[in-house]
Amino acid sequence: MRTVLLIIQKEFIQVFRNRMMLPLIFVVPIIQLLIIVHAATFEVKDARICVVDHDLSTTSRKLVSTFEASPFFQVLGYSADYKEAEKLIRANKADLILSIQAGFEKQLLRERYGQVHLSINAINQQAAGVIQAYSMMIIRDYNRQLIVDWIGRSTPAQARMIPVEYAYWFNPELSYINFMVPGILVLLVTIIGLLLSAMNIVREKEIGTIEQINVTPIHKYQFIAGKLIPFWILALLELAFGLTLGKFLFDIPMVGSLWIIFMTAAEYLLVVLSYGLFLSTVTNTQQQAMFLAFFSMMIFLLMSGLFTPVESMPAWAQEFNRINPIAYFIRIMRMVLLKGSGVSDILKPFLSLGVMALTTLLLTVWRYRKTV
């Protein structure tokens, strides 16, 4: 026990003596939360429309002005020629073309049927999807307005429509921030934990101090425990700091119990830190450890559902997430913070994390060799 405490003490001295470390630990979360949370959003604002209106009727103009009135669209200009408008899309100056054919109004009046054409720049398919959905919504609203205007209130046409009302549970305003902050906090503790641990033992290898440690009677488990606990404490403090920032800067909901959050984090960090130390034992230079850490973090992170929903991934990817600790932790974070899930709700992912923690920990202790 005394030996473990000794190593812990030594690690803390070294961490705090490293001039980069303290700013890193406290500045990184602030920057991450401020930048990523605001920047990484699916909302599309000010999509640029180029209008090709060959009809130039009251009806067509009304449609265009509905688009203009929407905060999501910005009319870039009018063009008489569809080819010209296409050029704007190619030059990435416009995001979509709204083209209305000549005779639109007449056809609509005569045949009760009209057509508009939308061309959307889909270089970013996600943005294109959002723009399409917004456009459809505007056109539908406009359509309904037309019916009301022309047919009048006397007809029962309106009654035939089924009104759909939406209620978004657990995130009523569909706030992107509420969705992102818990995920970003996971990202934060993962980066800090994984990098600190992955670089640690291998650093001692590079400097040569490991040689001196290895000839001492210290036990393997003492060494690993002494290495793990300091980073574990640091990462948990980091999480507390991040949660505080999230609360005060973004007022993210904290419906569930913070105890559950920290219990899960403690368990999750065991997985991350022992994986980091494992990387550290199998590599010979900090560079190798860094590459491996980044590579695995990227994969686990992008698969985890932080940015893209797991539900839309192929089946094999969803299967992969069974062994993805980040996916479990993000899920639990969102469940507890947004929904207020209790222990019984998160028991399964919690136990899965526990199994992973135990496995990686044992693997690391086993893999660490005192002989070279």
Partner 1 sequence: MAESAVVTENLSKHFGAVKALDDISFKIGKGELFGFIGPDGAGKTTLFRILTTLLLPDGGKATVEGFDTVSEYRQIRRISGYMPGKFSLYHDLSVEENLRFFATIFGTTVSENIHLVQDLYSQIEPFRKRKAGKLSGGMKQKLALCCALIHQPVILFLDEPTTGVDAVSRKEFWEMLNRLRRQQITILVSTPYMDEAGRCDRVALMQSGKIMTIDTPQGIRQQFRKKILAVKGRDMFGLMKILEGFPEIERSYLFGQSLHVTGVSEALTADDLSARLRQQQAPDFRVEEITPDIEDCFIDLTATRE
The reply to whether 216 sits near partner 1 by the rule CB under 8 A is: yes
> In this structure, what are the phi and psi dihedrals at residue 11, rounded to the nearest 5 degrees?
-65, -40
Choose, by CB under 8 A, the member of 158, 209, 287, 308 that binds partner 1.
Answer: 209
Q: Which stretch binds partner 1 (CB under 8 A): 110-118, 203-211, 313-321, 353-361?
A: 203-211
Choose, by CB under 8 A, the member of 43, 149, 211, 319 that binds partner 1.
Answer: 211
Choose, by CB under 8 A, the member of 31, 91, 159, 372 that binds partner 1.
Answer: 372
The reply to whether 285 sits near partner 1 by the rule CB under 8 A is: no
CB atoms closer than 10 angstroms to residue 226:
19
Among residues 304, 24, 330, the alpha carbon closest in space to that of 181 is found at 330
Q: Which stretch binds partner 1 (CB under 8 A): 1-9, 56-64, 159-167, 237-245?
A: 1-9
The reply to whether 153 sits near partner 1 by the rule CB under 8 A is: no
The reply to whether 212 sits near partner 1 by the rule CB under 8 A is: yes
Nearest-approach distance from CB 365 to partner 1, in angstroms = 17
Q: How far apart (Å, rounded) are the C-alpha atoms in residues 257 and 328?
A: 17
Nearest-approach distance from CB 15 to partner 1, in angstroms = 10
As a dihedral over the C-alpha atoms of residue 232, residue 236, residue 237, residue 242, rounded to 10 degrees, the angle is 140
Q: Which two tokens stand for residue 22?
A: 């303290």
The reply to whether 14 sits near partner 1 by the rule CB under 8 A is: yes
Nearest-approach distance from CB 17 to partner 1, in angstroms = 5
User: Edge-to-edge, what's the strand order for the sheet holding 47-53?
Assistant: 73-78, 47-53, 96-100, 116-120
Nearer to partner 1, 23 or 163 (CB): 23
Cβ contact 233:204 at 8 Å: no
The reply to whether 66 sits near partner 1 by the rule CB under 8 A is: no
Q: How far apart (Å, rounded) are the C-alpha atoms in residues 334 and 264?
A: 12
